[in-house]
Every structure is written in C-alpha cells, then in structure tokens.
Amino acid sequence: MYQRILVANRGEIALRIIRACRELGIESVAIFSEADRGAHYLDLADEAICVGPAKPADSYLRIAHVISAAEVGNVQAIHPGYGFLAENAHFNEVCRSCKIDFIGPKPEAMSKLGDKNAAREMAKKANVPIVPGSDGVISNPDEALRFAHEVGFPVLIKAVAGGGGRGMRVAANDLALKSALQQAQQEAEAAFGNGAVYLEKYIEQPRHVEVQVLADHHGNVVHLWERDCSVQRRHQKLIEESPSTSINQKTRDAMCEAARKLIQQADYTNAATVEFIVDKDGKYYFIEVNARIQVEHPVTEMITGVDLIKQQILIAGGEQLSMRQKDIKQKGAAIECRINAENPARNFQPSPGKIERLIVPGGFGVRFESHAHSGYIVPPYYDSMIGKLIVHQPTRAEAISTMQRALAELRVDGIHTTTALHQDILSHSAFVKGEIDTTFVERMFSFG
Amino acid sequence: MANGGAGSGEVFDVRKVRRFVELMNEHDLSEVDLRQGDQRIRLRRGQEPVVSVAAPQPAAPPPAAVPAPIPAAASAAVEATEEDANASYVTSPMVGTFYVASSPDSPAFVNVGDQVGPESTVCVIEAMKVFNEIPAECSGSVAAVLVSNGDPVEFGQKLFKITKVG
C-alpha cells in the first residue's frame, strides 16, 4: 500500500481525501495556491506545498507544478479529487510516465469513456438504452425532418462541439424544426467556431439518475446503487438523494446492472458514475460516464456504508474489492444539500468573504463535509461550494425532517449561502411527494 | 516548505517535537531523553530551552545538548529580522529542487555580496528532470541566500534577499 499520496485538489474534497489517508495510515501531501495559504485543513496533511498564485490555471491546473510537488513530496500516488485535473487524460499520462499512480482509471479507459460519442457506441453495444439520436451530423432540414419523424417530436438540436447548454434548441413540430435548426447552427458557429449539429429525442420532464460503480484491477466490478440529482439549476446540482423516487425496483435493478456491465466491458477501473436520464414513463436512457469520484459521493456512502474514497485508494494500490455485489444493500434514505457561498436573491451571485461565525449542525444521522471554519475567508477564485450537508435516516420523510432541522442549525454568518433556498425546496410539496424533474427549480422558484 | 512536516530527509517532525514540549510543560518535566533504534531526541527545559535532534549516524556519538533550532522556527526568526525597505526577494516561480550552481562541479551562480541585474541567473530549480535557470528579476546586491543547495522549494518561497544599492 502507498506510504504517501499527493492530494491534487483543495477545499472540502482535499480534506475528505486527507481524512481517508489518515485512517489508512498513509501520509498525505497537500497542495495549495497562495489564496488558500493558511487554510486550517492543510494542517491535517503531513506536508503542504504551495503550487502557485490564486488563479487555478497557474496553480491547481498547472500540471508541471503539481507533478513537481508530487516529486518533491516523495509520493507514490496522486488523488485528483473532482474537477481540476480529475478527468484530464494528459495529466493522467504524465503521472504514469513519472511513475506515480493516478488514483482513478487508466488514461486509455478515461479517454474512451470520456468521449461522449464513443461512450454512446459502447452503451449501444452493451444493449444499454441510449437517448435516440441522429447517427452523426445533421446538415440539412430534410435529414432533420426524417429523424424527427422517426423518433417523434419534440427533438433537441445539439452542437457537436458544444457545451454549457449553448447551441441547443428544442423543436416541437416541422415548422419549428426548420428555424430552430438554423438558429442552433448559427449559435454553434458563433460560440464554438463549429456549426455542426446533431439531433436527439428530447426527453420531457427528465429525471437525472446516476449509478455509482467501483471496479478493481482484478476484474471485480460492483454497482453501489443510484443517486437522484434532479434538483438542479442551470445544470448545476443543488440536492442529491438516494434512493431515487422516480424509478421502481425493477428499473433500479436493470439500470444499475446495465451501468455495472458497461464499466466492466470498458475495462474501466476505480470509481465511475454512469449517468442516465429517466422520462416521465420511467424509461431510462444512458447519457454519459463521469470517470472520477463525484461531489455527491457521500450520499452513496451513507446508504451502502462503503467509504468510497478509501476504496479508490485501495483499488489503486492493487487491493481486491472486499465486498461482493450481493453484499451491497441500500439502507434507509440519504439526502445531500450543497451549501454554496452564493446569494440566491441576486441571481446566485457568488458571495466570497469572511465567515464571521460558522455553527455546524449535528445530531443523529447528520454529516457535514466542509473545510470552512469560523474566521475562514472564502476566496473568490474557485467553486462557490463551501460545504455539503448530508443526512441519513431510515425513511425519506425522516431524512427530510432531519435535513430541515440541520439546515436550521447551520449558521454561516458573514456571507450569503444557499441554505434558505434548500429549506424552501425541501418544504415544497412537489419535493416531498418526490415529483421532481430537472426543470423543477427553475419553474418553481424565481430568483432576484 | 509550509507546515514543516516529516520531509524526505528529516527524522523528527516539528509537530512531534512540539507535542513533547507540551507534555513536558504539562507534567512539569525538566528533561526528556528518548531513543528509538539509532534515533534520539533530547529536550531540556530551563532558562535556555535546548533541543537536540540526532539523525541516524553510523559513526560518532551525538554531542550532548547541542542547540539545533527547529527549521520552521528558525526561518520565521530569520524572516522577522530581515524586513527592511531596501530589501527585495527572489522568490521561486515553481515547485522543485534548488541548486546554487548549474552542476556539482561548477561554481555557484552568485555569492553573498555579488551585484545582480534583472537578467542575472541566480540559481537553477530542477522540476520534472528539467533544470530551469532562475533570473533575479531585480537589481542590487545579494544580501543572503535563504535556502540550501538541494532543498525542495515551493512556489513563492523566498530564495535570495537582494538589497538595493544607493
């Protein structure tokens, strides 16, 4: 097993990884930018190395500095966390050539499943349902119409080179399709320099349901059930929970097994999350694979009792998975609320600055994952998430009740946070009834 | 290096030593002498706190009660006395290993007292097998070399103190 690991991240996930290392008896080397100098969580690592100025591109994303820190820190492995370099296949390769283990998949597996089209092809081959899409670029209105009539309206036009929801248009009929196609092509050209578009069936009232998978280097692959992440705003998750209220057990079993098989067939190792979209009739479609540990991994940890970060380290170190599929059960209900330093009343404007006082909630079934503390200054350069509040209870109703209690106890004085918004969402009848799709937040709540 | 922990070459880390000192104060001990294998640490409390840390050495026995300041405390003390209006610092632009010369047989790029200009190479830092020559980026005379040959350095770490002339 490793003696020393470099934690190539910051904030709550860096703290999470440091904690796992401490429990495994592994020394940790933390990195930090000048903006994070003096953060308390750095004291919990065995060593901390400054890798650059505040801007991520000059520090946390600066591969040369991160690798140098790994060499100077004398580590055998690097845990990339999530975001930053976690899905950077080039960084993964550099680690390999420097003889440092990357705690995650091999570069080839990362590239293979990271390519959206290749992943869709693999899913098709594995008989996993995918969102029906045009096989390639749609260049003229006739092709578009043919496809739309085949899969049925409404259809979604997406930019091939796209991202962030740009170059996307929904069309509900023939007439709308012609103009939508043109608009999408123009927007894609302007935004990405590539006007090529393709079509997908538009899933109405979609639920976002993802499956956690772990695979070791000995051919063992298990799924750890699903997480429902439908409470989103502009494609950013706000609340995640497990089990999902939008699928029945039959669908759950099928979806989770499909995810497990896909990862196995891709020869992928370490942690992965397979994302699906579920339509209003409960039918599921594969979207993509996230080849990293995710922000919301604690939800799965509470439900299954499995420490996912430790498992990542053990897998990378060559250990066999200690649990078998039949041993992994879903117990109770867990919910996570992402506490962001943002002001919902002003269109979620980031709210960096000094936390004058932080009071952390506690009690039975409450878990708070955060690097923040009273007096902590939230820097303006990074993601606004300052903590994750997770609860676990025997039933969903009890989990909601505990989360409400915990949110009311949480005090983050000095900056704005999304705490009150979570309280509103959790008390909304649609959420309580479990009737949410990814449009819920934007439909039900108006901001600023 | 921030939070001086058990670096690649050190035997005792600062936190452990600090903890011993705390325990001595708590239990009102005046002297503690600990040995494990060929490692030894001896602390004596009194008017002049004395810390001796012996790294594993094959030959000569460690001299008694030799004051050996803890590196983190030492650099803090050095920094406190060195702030003045005329001084600027050459800081490391990267993470790596500091060398005073381009090779073990070469003379050092600069010595204390030398004049430097913005383009003067003052040291090399090795990162990922690449040796990078580091320019002074300021003018003046070298007042102090703040790190030792072969030391690991982090981004922003002070390497040289340069005093402006005139």
Catalytic residue among A16, A227, A260, A292: A292
| DSSP letter (8 states) at residue A420 | H
Omega within 30 of 0 (cis) for the link into A154: yes
A-facing residues of B in 13-52 (CB < 8 A) are 13
Last residue of a domain, one of A201, A224, A251: A201
Q: Do B1 and A71 touch (CB under 8 A)?
A: no
pLDDT at A446: 72
CATH number at residue A75: 3.40.50.20
Distance CA B149, CA B146 (A): 10
- Same domain? For B98 and B61 the reply is no
pLDDT at A163: 61
* Interface residue of B155, B158, B159 to substitute, partner A, most A CBs within 10 Å: B155
Query: Does B82 have pLDDT greater than 80?
Result: no
Q: Which residue of A has its CA nearest to B8?
A: A74
Query: Within an 8 Å CB–CB cutoff, is residue A107 touching chain B?
Result: no
Distance CA A344, CA A419 (A): 9
> In this structure, is residue A133 part of a structural domain?
no
pLDDT at B79: 47
- Same domain? For A179 and A250 the reply is no
pLDDT at B21: 84
Cβ atoms of B28 and B42 within 8 Å: the answer is no
Residues of B in contact with A65 (CB under 8 A): 94-95, 127, 155
- Same domain? For A433 and A356 the reply is yes
- Same domain? For B97 and B124 the reply is yes
For chains A and B, what is the number of CB pairs under 8 angstroms? Answer: 69
Query: Does A30 have pLDDT greater than 80?
Result: yes
Instruction: Give how far A31 is from chain B: nearest CA, Å.
Output: 10
Region A247-273 average pLDDT: 97
Q: Which is more confident, A205 or A429? A: A429
Give the nearest partner residue to B94 out of A46, A68, A74, using CB atoms: A68
Instruction: Give how far B24 is from chain A: nearest CA, Å.
Output: 23
How many domains are there within chain A?
A: 3
Q: Do A72 and B6 touch (CB under 8 A)?
A: no
> In this structure, is residue A115 part of a structural domain?
no
- Same domain? For A174 and A249 the reply is no
Query: Within an 8 Å CB–CB cutoff, is residue A189 touching chain B?
Result: no
B148: domain range?
A: 85-163
Query: Within an 8 Å CB–CB cutoff, is residue B91 touching chain A?
Result: no
Distance CA A199, CA A158 (A): 6
Give the nearest partner residue to A72 out of B3, B96, B156, using CB atoms: B96
Q: Do A51 and B127 touch (CB under 8 A)?
A: no
pLDDT digits (tens, 9 = 90+) for B91-140: 999 999 999 999 999 999 999 999 999 999 999 999 988 999 999 999 99
Query: Does A447 have pLDDT greater than 70?
Result: no
* Interface residue of B10, B97, B128 to substitute, partner A, most A CBs within 10 Å: B128
Tell me, what's the ipTM? 0.79
pLDDT at B67: 40
Distances (CA, A) of A112 to A96, A100, A159, A266, A267: 17, 21, 20, 8, 10
pLDDT at B55: 45
pLDDT at A114: 79
Query: Within an 8 Å CB–CB cutoff, is residue A47 touching chain B?
Result: yes
pLDDT at B9: 43
- B27: confidence class by pLDDT, cuts 50, 70, 90: confident
Region A184-208 average pLDDT: 87
- A218: confidence class by pLDDT, cuts 50, 70, 90: very high
- Same domain? For B36 and B68 the reply is yes
Q: Which is more confident, B129 or B64? A: B129
Which residues is B145 bridged to in the sheet? Answer: B160
* Residue B135 structure tokens: 């320019």
Query: Within an 8 Å CB–CB cutoff, is residue A71 touching chain B?
Result: yes
Query: Within an 8 Å CB–CB cutoff, is residue A46 touching chain B?
Result: yes
* Interface residue of A6, A27, A65, A90 to substitute, partner B, most B CBs within 10 Å: A65
Query: Does A202 have pLDDT greater than 50?
Result: yes
pLDDT at A165: 63
Query: Within an 8 Å CB–CB cutoff, is residue B2 touching chain A?
Result: yes
Last residue of a domain, one of B39, B72, B105: B72
Q: Do A65 and B97 touch (CB under 8 A)?
A: no
> In this structure, is residue A185 part of a structural domain?
yes
Region A75-88 average pLDDT: 96
- B80: confidence class by pLDDT, cuts 50, 70, 90: very low
Q: Do B94 and A42 touch (CB under 8 A)?
A: no
How many domains are there within chain B?
A: 2
pLDDT digits (tens, 9 = 90+) for A151-190: 999 999 988 776 656 678 889 999 999 999 999 888 888 8
One DSSP character per residue, B65-127 reads: T-----HHHHHHHHHHHH--TTEEEEE-SSSEEEESSSSTTSPPS--TT-EE-TT-EEEEEEE
Instruction: Give how far B166 is from chain A: nearest CA, Å.
Output: 32
- Same domain? For A77 and A187 the reply is no
**Mean per-residue pLDDT of chain A:** 94
Cβ atoms of A207 and A277 within 8 Å: the answer is yes
Instruction: Give how far B119 is from chain A: nearest CA, Å.
Output: 22
> In this structure, is residue A346 part of a structural domain?
yes
- Same domain? For B65 and B105 the reply is no
Instruction: Give how far A411 is from chain B: nearest CA, Å.
Output: 30
SS3 A212: strand
A71: domain range?
A: 4-103
CATH number at residue A194: 3.30.1490.20
The percentage of residues in chain B with a pLDDT greater than 90, rounded to a whole number, is: 45
Q: Which is more confident, A207 or A164? A: A207
Query: Does A50 have pLDDT greater than 50?
Result: yes
pLDDT digits (tens, 9 = 90+) for A109-126: 999 887 777 888 899 998
- H or E element that contains A149: helix A141-151
- A105: confidence class by pLDDT, cuts 50, 70, 90: very high
Q: Do B127 and A47 touch (CB under 8 A)?
A: no
Please confirm, yes or no, whether A292 is among the known catalytic residues: yes
pLDDT at A164: 59
Instruction: Give how far B47 is from chain A: nearest CA, Å.
Output: 30
Distances (CA, A) of A138 to A146, A160, A178, A196: 10, 10, 12, 7
Give the nearest partner residue to B7 out of A34, A47, A50, using CB atoms: A47
Distance CA B161, CA B90 (A): 7
> In this structure, is residue A274 part of a structural domain?
yes
- Same domain? For B99 and B51 the reply is no
- Same domain? For A237 and A371 the reply is yes
Query: Within an 8 Å CB–CB cutoff, is residue B131 touching chain A?
Result: no
Which residues is A4 bridged to in the sheet? Answer: A27
pLDDT at B59: 43
- Same domain? For B103 and B39 the reply is no
- Same domain? For B63 and B33 the reply is yes
Query: Within an 8 Å CB–CB cutoff, is residue B120 touching chain A?
Result: no
Q: Which residue of B has its CA nearest to A33?
A: B155
- Same domain? For A374 and A235 the reply is yes
SS3 A388: strand
pLDDT at A235: 82
CATH number at residue B141: 2.40.50.100
Q: Do B154 and A45 touch (CB under 8 A)?
A: no
- Same domain? For A155 and A271 the reply is no
Instruction: Give how far A68 is from chain B: nearest CA, Å.
Output: 6
pLDDT digits (tens, 9 = 90+) for A342-358: 999 898 999 999 999 99
Query: Does A296 have pLDDT greater than 80?
Result: yes
